[in-house]
A and B are shown apart, each in its own frame.
Chain A
Amino acid sequence: MYDGGKIITGLIIGIGLFLSPFFYNAGKVAKAPDPELTEKAKEAKECVASKPYMKAWHMQLLDEWRDEAVRDGERYYSTDRKTWEMPLGKRLMYELRGFIADDGKKDKKPKIGKVYLKSLQVTCMDCHSNKSKFCDECHNYVGVTPYCWDCHIEPEEKK
């Protein structure tokens, strides 16, 4: 091998540079996101759906809302307590079979909870008016940049 020494030193420096972020951050734990609730959100206790559901599926909910509100003109959402946490297929079956729940009993009257206007800007951000400490907290942590805010106006925050 010609110039073996130089090549190997070069390789070591190169690999070292490549791995430097790894060594730099080794042993440190990245701060887990801790979204902060506003007073208003704390008082309300419950969102349009339960907390675990909203944590995992809020993007799907928003996506459904935007299609229903804009394209189908269905602008109101009622929190049907029996159905909000069911997977879509199950929910469809529940509604098609005339509200027969898992235990085989028929719900005489499907429970309709509160009614909300399907609007990110008006409904969601009314309670969660602290975008930088609520939305951005997790979005930054997982490295996603939703383009909602290209058009939808976030509430003004006090600094």
Chain B
Amino acid sequence: MGVDRRDFLKIAGFGALVGLGGKAIEILAPGELEASTENIPLTKGKRWSMVIDIRKCLEKQEKDGCKECIIACHREHNVPDWGNPKHEVKWVWQDSYEHVFPGQPNEYIEDGIRHKPVIMMCNHCVNPPCVRVCPTQATFKREEDGIVSMDMHRCIGCRFCMAACPYGSRSFNWGNPRKAPKDLNPDFPTNRTYPERSMGVVEKCNFCVELVTKGELPACVQACDKIKVHALNFGDLADPESNVRKLLRKRYSIRRKPELGTEPNIFYII
């Protein structure tokens, strides 16, 4: 008689084990998840952050519906207006207080902030989920100052980051910005020293990395300071004597969705 089924399975099993050799232990050993946070570098040196004084901002908005920061940002970075909320490209944008801070439900909240528009931008998280999921490392965290930056040359438009970002800070380019409606973007491109994006890449607020490296303040902060509202404060969180640390020590502040552990670097003084 030849080999029966029972013997064949035994031989095959042992054969496989021998063939694999030491590999068998490696395969069965508990491994590390590919999307783990362990390879994201911690910030060395500076940690740029922003403290937004909502009261000052709302006060100005009540007066004249101020949108200076949004306009300045979009002009600086050639962000087109598509006139269609589904194709909206968001760098700095607004939503009602309840939507910005969904973890603070309070039916009887004071009228001063109830349904009031709050500005938002990329949080430049200490622990950014978008960086973790990016398959080409197009989105990366700058070690020297903690800015979550994008290398548009590498983005393949897979939109994993959009799914990963819990703040909706990322927008997809559904069309070529140069083909955005002319009547909404009369003098596009508005900044000839900054590039546009092409169709099929994701973009977001870059904390004005191109200005900050030159020693200037981000465009939104400059715009806010220009109209003397000073609601946006940009500074280094790693320096205990910086303007932002002083503000945070003095006033009560909240962050968006802190329960997720992403550690946003944008603070709101309520």
Contacts and interface: CB of A to CB of B under 8 A. Distances in A.
B47 interface: no
A124 B144 CA distance: 27
A119 B196 CA distance: 14
A71 interface: yes
B198 interface: yes
A155 interface: yes
B151 interface: yes
Given A70-B151, A151-B152, A151-B197, A121 B192 contact: yes
Interface residues of B, number: 19
Contact of A73 (B192, B194, B198, B213): B213
B192 A153 contact: yes
Interface in B114-165: 140, 142, 144, 149, 151-153
Contacts of B166: none
B235 interface: no
A6 B72 CA distance: 73
Interface string B165-195: 0000000000010000000000001001111
Contact of A153 (B149, B152, B196, B213): B196
State the majority secondary structure of interface residues on A.
loop
B193 A122 contact: yes
Contacts of B195: 121, 151-153
Contacts of A71: 140, 151
13 contacts: A66-B153, A70-B149, A71-B151, A73-B142, A73-B144, A121-B194, A121-B195, A147-B198, A150-B176, A150-B198, A151-B198, A152-B195, A153-B189
Given A151-B152, A151-B197, A155-B192, 15 more contacts: A71-B151, A73-B142, A73-B144, A121-B192, A121-B193, A121-B194, A121-B195, A122-B193, A150-B176, A151-B195, A151-B196, A152-B196, A153-B189, A153-B192, A153-B196
Interface of B: 78, 140, 142, 144, 149, 151-153, 176, 189, 192-198, 209, 213
